[in-house]
Amino acid sequence: MSELTLERGLAAFRAEIDAPIAAFFSSCVHCGICAQSCPFYLETGDPKYTPILKLEPLRLVWEGEFTLWGRIKRTLGLQQKVTDEMLAEWEELLYDSCSMCGRCSLVCPVGNDLAYMIRKSREGMVQAGHAPEGLIAASVRAIQTGSPMGLQWKTLAVQIKHVEDSTSLTVPVDKTGVDYLVLLSSMEIINFPEYLEAITKIFDHAGVTWTLSTQCFEATNAGIQIGNKDIAAQLVERVVAAAEKLKVPNVISPECGHAYTAIRWEGPNLIGRPYPFRVFHIIEVLDTLRASGRLQTEGMESDRLSLHDPCNLARKSGVIQQQRNLMALVADNFVDLKEHGKFQWCCGAGGGVSSNERAEPLKLAAFKRKKAQIEEVAPERMVTMCATCRTQLEEGMEEFNMNIPVVGLTEMIADHLVEKEARS
Amino acid sequence: MIDRKTPNKTLGESLRDHGLSRRGFLKFCAATASMMALPPGMVPVIAAALEQARRPSVIWLSFQECTGCTESLTRSHAPALEDLILNLISLDYHHTLQAAAGDAAEDARLQAMEANTGQYLVIVDGSIPGPDSNPGFSTVAGRSNYEILMETVEHAAAVIAVGTCAAFGGLPQASPNPTGAMSVMDLVKDKPVINVSGCPPIPMVITGVLAHYLTFGRLPELDAYHRPLAFYGQSIHDRCYRRPFYDKGKFAETFDDEGAKLGWCLYRLGCKGPSTYNACATMRWNGGVSWPIESGHPCLGCSEPSFWDAGSFYQPLSVPLTATSGDLLTAAVGGAVVGAGVATLANKQIKTAVANRQPVTVEELEEKL
Amino acid sequence: MSGLDPISVIIESNVSCAGMPQDCGNALPILHEIRHALERLISTGEETRIDLNAMPFGPGDLDCLKALLGTGEVHATVEAMGLTLIQETAIPGVWLVDYQNSDARRLTLQIEIASVPEILRPQPLDLAEAINTLDGRLTQSASNRHHSS
Amino acid sequence: MSGSMAFLLWIKGPMFNIALAIFAIGLFARFAEIFLLGRKPNYAEPRAGEWLPGFKTMFTRSIADPGTFQRASFNVVVGWVWHLGFLIALLLFVPHVELMKGLFGIVWPALPNPVVDLITAITLIALVATLVHRLTHPVKQRISTFDDYLVWTVVFLVVLTGYLAYHRLVNPYPIALGMHILMAEIFLIILPFTKLTHIFTAFIARWYNGAAFGRKGVAS
């Protein structure tokens, strides 16, 4: 039986190195500004959480094998080697203290895309057997059960029943030839069942044809979080197969950040071919409906609302204006956090941190950056569009006794839809 | 036979024999101090020293040279003073100046050496084909320069190398140095050597050095190149009247632009003043009339070693000697090839890594739980 | 007729190198030196000589310095090994002493800050012989008279 | 012939050629190492092109975003000051302009010497400040390597020897000038093998960064 070894890890590091990585490592001047953009460093004050330092194993492989000087140093025996012990030490740095929020990639003065390199480093970590247990377990469950939380269709079927009962609408399942295949995340199904009800209402209201797939309902991708192509590709293939089977032209990723980047940006590259369909985040779809006048809303939220941009959606996918357009539709008293959009701060739970029980204290520490941002504008409620962010915001604010409820944007839109009868 | 022994009279006495009054002597000392580039406050010291000094025998040897140095000295502008100084020495041998010729001339040299052994001064102008060169490159009376130099220097008190050829090898030594020319300093190791460099040296500097030796009976303070600090202690640049323009960043860029007409700094036209140590800026040439920079031409750096090989006279000091953009390009192409090699090796490794890649399986992951 | 005459000469600029590129640039520091020397002369009687040959003067600097110092009342000449011209400047105690050789070429030019320039004063050794010289002349004169009577 | 002039001539002659050769070989080797690695094809549907955002980021990343400026103002300000100072002294000092003219045949206007002098003095102070920061700031302390201190020393000495030579504070002058050129040569020699490569590769890195973000519709 094969096992995960250092050699496989090093080979994986090697295989991940490309021109951008060579340019990035060639350019780092050790200015330390990346630390000033990292919530894990800023809130712990521990310099070992400096983003560039987290990339040291990958850098050593690059230097030793991909540069003239490194080769000379290796010949002279001066080149430091990546060892199993080193990777064991770096496991905490690459997983527990990095939510892959990509803020460092945006502020690095020499232009290093650090998040890109963290993602690649994790490939080596998995192959070397140095991934956190929580993420391994989630990956295994995702492959074996179709959901990282081990959730099965029958649980979802119960939810569907609830939604149909309370809305008197039908939730379409396994319908071919519709416009959209809707994916969900297990966390949403369990923690925020309102989401399914909301889209059912909105799509009915806007006259959108859509369906769920019994073959694949899960949008999240534990393989992306742990950083392994093989697992990630299998999970993407399931989505692609379901979409192809139902012949849908569009797939909607739910209110989940990493699910969107996984399927929108990484997916085609994981399976090595372009999709026969397009991928949207639910917020993009809603904004398109709004723009074409298919969303008729009434009434406004009058309390002071602010918005948390999920990293994966805003900084890493360019969905920034859409949620603000939708907020303007239903909120009177909206105030943006000071640093928002592409410069927003991570909630602290992304990049697999929330699936990694060991990282709990760090996750809470990193949240303090978000907490300070929220306190600065003092909203009465927070709005967001990612189940992981939402859970983290709720838990974090509860921990600090902040008493600020968090709502999903999709639900909020659904709440303001003009009743069908009234419309006609 | 002429007595070539150093006379017993002191300089003070022989000056008074020339009919010089005490005011005249004071004036002589003031002029001497000025010539030696010593402050006027030194005049009493000079006067006291001159009273005691004695008239030395001087042997002037000319080797691979152009007689420019002798011309400079003899055509100097204030002949009375230089004359006086030269009258105070006993110039016993000098090709160009002496009346004697042939064997008589060579005899004069040998006699002076014998009569003043250990006390005579040797002045050399011109460089010398080294001991390993063909001795025939330059000979006097059928004997190589090297041989004559070593023989003459053996019992000398000191050697004064006049001109850049004698001091540093000069033009004969310029690349490719066909005669294997060497400087006096290269060859004479056991005697004090004073270098009075310049092509030619300022005449006042030649006499100034002689005056110093006459006055104090010892060598003046020297710099690392054995040049008298009094004259070579400061660079042309530091004493240049155009220095304020350098400091303000006002430069002539061609020989006929407005800057050149306004007398701005000549750095960009190749002036070597910053790295050249000489007294031109204060003593000037032609009796103080002018000097190269005042006449609008950059300093060539003629009093420095290797000045013929130090790059174009008209290239600024900051320009490298031989490197060109072509060399840079060649090296860049070479680098690209080396890099391509490294990259090819690396790419091969990547390909191998990708080809041999073992996909991570759930079973492998479960092992870790 | 000279063969060079047909070659026309165009004067492009009247600004010569000797123009006024700087405002007496290198003359000014010397004035400060003279000022310090004057202070010393007044307070302690110490005399100072400045050798202008050793100055990095640009074109015009010397004339500028002379003009600034002006011309005083005393003008003297010493005849010894050629002429020495002494000119008092408009600043009392500041003298220009021009040492020339027998061809009337300048050997060196000095500024002397003193009550009387050194070269004008009788030299101490000469002074020591003064009475003897005078006595000699008296004796001579007496014997002349004796002979004539 | 030994001595200061021989030293200067060797530095300006053979040593300059050696330094230039190592610099060019090393740098272009690095370029080849980077570009020949290439990038894997990207099958994801782009939101926007790569080229324009890439080029934009090459320049815009020189300016820190307001938040970063606030959190790392010392880093940003001092970094700017000494980088600008170094570049001005390198490119706009008359002797350096002449050097470029001699080497490449291209000329551009220079700044008056006193201006460059002042800028150089400021640069030196800023460089000392960066060293103090590196030695005292916990992050910089933690991530600094031998390489960082070597590069700092060489950069500082290049500027310092230039300053000393300009002010003629070392005698004889050929030694002063020779030391300055030698330091510049050492700078060139180590450039391709240390973080100094960022002088060139930072723009490549920024392009990749801008292209990656730009493709996803984010102005980086």
| Strand extents, DSSP E, chain C | 48-51, 75-79, 83-88, 94-100, 106-113
Is residue B299 within 8 angstroms of chain C, CB to CB? no
Answer whether residue C12 shows pLDDT above 80. Answer: no
| Strand extents, DSSP E, A31-166 | none
For residue range B151-202, list pLDDT tens digits in order: 999 999 999 999 999 999 999 999 999 999 999 999 999 999 999 999 999 8
CA distance B19 to B13: 10
Number of domains in chain A: 3
Q: Do B304 and D5 touch (CB under 8 A)?
A: yes
Out of A152-161, A405-414, B91-100, D13-22, which region has the weakest mean confidence (pLDDT)?
Answer: B91-100
Domains of chain C by start residue, with CATH: 28-137 (3.30.1370.140)
CA distance C57 to C55: 5
CATH architecture of B236-309: Irregular (4.10)
Confidence of residue D1 (pLDDT cuts 50, 70, 90): very low
CA dist list (Å): D73 to A14, A33, A107, A372, D67:
37, 10, 13, 20, 9
Which pLDDT belongs to residue C18? 46
Q: Which residues of B touch C18 (CB under 8 A)?
A: 263
SS3 A381: strand
Mean pLDDT of C24-52: 88
Domain end among A240, A263, A290: A290
For residue range A172-196, list pLDDT tens digits in order: 999 998 999 999 998 888 888 899 9
Q: Report how many helices (DSSP H) and strands (DSSP E) chain C contains, helices first.
A: 4, 5
Which pLDDT belongs to residue B203? 84
CA distance B103 to B124: 20
Answer whether residue D124 shows pLDDT above 60. Answer: yes
The packing angle between helices A360-377 and A387-399, to 10°, is: 80
Chain A interface disruption, residue of B352, B368, B369, most A CBs within 10 A = B368
Q: Which helix (H) or strand (E) holds D151?
A: helix D146-166
A120 and A189 belong to one structural domain: no
Q: Which residues of A touch B358 (CB under 8 A)?
A: 2, 8, 127
Answer whether residue C99 shows pLDDT above 80. Answer: yes
Q: Are B115 and B5 in contact (CB under 8 A)?
A: yes
Is residue D168 within 8 angstroms of chain A, CB to CB? no
In a domain, D49, yes or no: no
Nearest neighbour of B365 by CB, restricted to A11, A65, A136:
A136
Q: Which chain A residues have any C-beta within 8 angstroms of a chain B C-beta?
A: 1-4, 8, 11-12, 14-15, 17, 65-68, 71, 126-127, 129, 131, 133, 136-137, 139-140, 143-144, 228-231
* pLDDT averaged over every residue in chain D: 94
Domain end among A239, A259, A290: A290
Answer whether residue A424 shows pLDDT above 50. Answer: no
Nearest neighbour of B27 by CB, restricted to C12, C49, C84:
C84
Mean pLDDT of B10-26: 77
Nearest neighbour of C56 by CB, restricted to B81, B239, B261:
B239
* Gyration radius of chain A over CA positions: 22
CA dist list (Å): A332 to A202, A299, A306, A307, A329:
21, 9, 11, 13, 8
Nearest-Cα residue of chain B relative to residue A234: B361
Q: Do B244 and C22 touch (CB under 8 A)?
A: yes
Which pLDDT belongs to residue D208? 97
Which pLDDT belongs to residue D2? 61
In a domain, A141, yes or no: no
- Residue A18, domain extent: 6-131
Answer whether residue B48 shows pLDDT above 90. Answer: no
Nearest neighbour of A65 by CB, restricted to B339, B349, B354:
B349
Q: Are A327 and A295 in contact (CB under 8 A)?
A: no
CA distance B118 to B158: 9
Nearest-Cα residue of chain B relative to residue A136: B365
In a domain, D80, yes or no: yes
Out of A384-398, B10-24, D47-61, which region has the weakest mean confidence (pLDDT)?
Answer: B10-24
Nearest-Cα residue of chain A relative to residue B367: A3
Is residue A277 within 8 angstroms of chain D, CB to CB? no
Q: Which residues of B touch C59 (CB under 8 A)?
A: 241, 263, 294
Is residue B356 within 8 angstroms of chain A, CB to CB? yes
* pLDDT averaged over every residue in chain C: 83
Q: Domain limits of chain B?
A: 54-231, 236-309
Confidence of residue A132 (pLDDT cuts 50, 70, 90): very high
Q: Do B365 and A139 touch (CB under 8 A)?
A: yes
CA distance A372 to B239: 65
Q: How far is CA A268 from the centre of its chain?
A: 17
CA dihedral A71, A72, A78, A82 (to 10 degrees): 0
C neighbour chains, 3+ CB pairs within 8 Å? B
Is residue C23 within 8 angstroms of chain B, CB to CB? no
Which pLDDT belongs to residue A240? 96
Q: What is the pTM of this model?
A: 0.88
Q: Which helix (H) or strand (E) holds A66?
A: helix A56-66
Find the CATH number of the domain harbouring D145: 1.20.950.20
A88 and A200 belong to one structural domain: no
CA distance C149 to C144: 9
Which pLDDT belongs to residue B82? 61
Which pLDDT belongs to residue C130? 87
In a domain, A99, yes or no: yes
Identify whether B129 is preceded by a cis peptide bond (ω within 30 of 0): no
Confidence of residue A1 (pLDDT cuts 50, 70, 90): low
For residue range B242-267, list pLDDT tens digits in order: 998 998 889 999 999 999 989 999 99
Q: Which residues of B touch A129 (CB under 8 A)?
A: 368
Domain end among A267, A290, A313: A290
Which pLDDT belongs to residue B356? 83
Chain B interface disruption, residue of A6, A13, A17, most B CBs within 10 A = A17
Nearest-Cα residue of chain B relative to residue A125: B360
CA distance D76 to A96: 29
Confidence of residue C13 (pLDDT cuts 50, 70, 90): low
CA distance C10 to D192: 56
Which pLDDT belongs to residue D165? 94
Asked whether C and D share 3 or more beta-carbon pairs under 8 angstroms, the answer is no
For residue range B94-139, list pLDDT tens digits in order: 888 888 888 999 999 999 999 999 999 999 999 999 999 999 999 9
The better pLDDT of the pair A377, B335 is held by A377
SS3 A402: coil
In a domain, D54, yes or no: no
Q: Do B350 and A8 touch (CB under 8 A)?
A: no
Nearest neighbour of B368 by CB, restricted to A2, A136, A231:
A136
Mean pLDDT of A197-222: 94
Nearest neighbour of C123 by CB, restricted to B23, B43, B264:
B23
In a domain, A343, yes or no: yes
In a domain, A138, yes or no: no
Q: Which residues of A touch B361 (CB under 8 A)?
A: 2, 230
Which pLDDT belongs to residue B76? 63
Nearest Cα neighbor of A366 from A111, A7, A96, A39 is: A39
Which pLDDT belongs to residue B350? 83
Nearest neighbour of A68 by CB, restricted to B338, B349, B363:
B338
Confidence of residue C21 (pLDDT cuts 50, 70, 90): very low
- Residue D142, domain extent: 4-36+65-215
A135/chain B closest Cα distance in angstroms: 10
Answer whether residue B1 shows pLDDT above 60. Answer: no
A414 and A321 belong to one structural domain: yes
CA distance A14 to A36: 29
Out of A272-286, B48-62, B248-262, D196-210, which region has the weakest mean confidence (pLDDT)?
Answer: B48-62
Nearest neighbour of B323 by CB, restricted to D9, D95, D103:
D103
A307 and A178 belong to one structural domain: no
* Domain B54-231: assigned CATH number: 3.40.50.700
Interface B–C counts its CB contacts (< 8 A) at 116
Number of domains in chain D: 1
Is residue B308 within 8 angstroms of chain D, CB to CB? no
CA dist list (Å): B15 to A185, B5, B47, B88, B248:
116, 19, 12, 8, 50
A65 and A177 belong to one structural domain: no
Cβ within 8 Å of C, B 152-181 = none
Confidence of residue C53 (pLDDT cuts 50, 70, 90): confident
In a domain, D47, yes or no: no
Answer whether residue C6 shows pLDDT above 80. Answer: no
Cβ burial of B290 (10 Å; 0-12, 13-18, 19+) is middle
Answer whether residue B3 shows pLDDT above 60. Answer: no
Q: Do A127 and B360 touch (CB under 8 A)?
A: yes
For residue range A344-399, list pLDDT tens digits in order: 999 999 999 999 999 999 999 999 999 999 999 999 999 999 999 999 999 999 99
A251 and A338 belong to one structural domain: no
For residue range B130-147, list pLDDT tens digits in order: 999 999 999 998 999 999
Beta bridge partners of A281: A253
Give the 3-state secondary structure of A237-255.
HHHHHHHHHHCCCEEEECC
Q: Are A95 and A131 in contact (CB under 8 A)?
A: yes
Answer whether residue C20 shows pLDDT above 50. Answer: no
Interface A–B counts its CB contacts (< 8 A) at 67
Q: Are D57 and D210 in contact (CB under 8 A)?
A: yes
Residue D8 corresponds to which tokens in the numbers above? 């200067």
CA distance A396 to A348: 10
Chain B interface disruption, residue of A2, A21, A229, most B CBs within 10 A = A2
Give the 3-state secondary structure of chain B.
CCCCCCCCCEHHHHHHHCCCCHHHHHHHHHHHHHHCCCCHHHHHHHHHHHHHCECCEEEEEECECCCHHHHHHHCCCCHHHHHHHHHHCEEEECCCCCCCCHHHHHHHHHHHHHHCCCCCEEEEECEEECCCCCHHHCEECCEEHHHHHHHHHCCCCEEEEEHHHHHHCHHHHCCCCCCCEECHHHHCCCCCEEEECCCCCCHHHHHHHHHHHHHHCCCCCECCCCCEHHHHCCEHHHHCCCHHHHHHCCECCCCCCHHHHCCCECHHHCCCHHHCECCHHHHCECCCCECCCCCCCCCCCCCCCCHHHCCCCCCCCCCCCCCCHHHHHHHHHHHHHHHHHHHHHHHHHHHHHHHCCCCCCHHHHHHCC
A83 and A48 belong to one structural domain: yes
Find the CATH number of the domain harbouring A72: 1.10.1060
A117 and A177 belong to one structural domain: no
Nearest-Cα residue of chain C relative to residue B20: C81
Nearest neighbour of B362 by CB, restricted to A2, A127, A144:
A144
CA distance A162 to B296: 100
Which pLDDT belongs to residue C1? 46
A282 and A387 belong to one structural domain: no
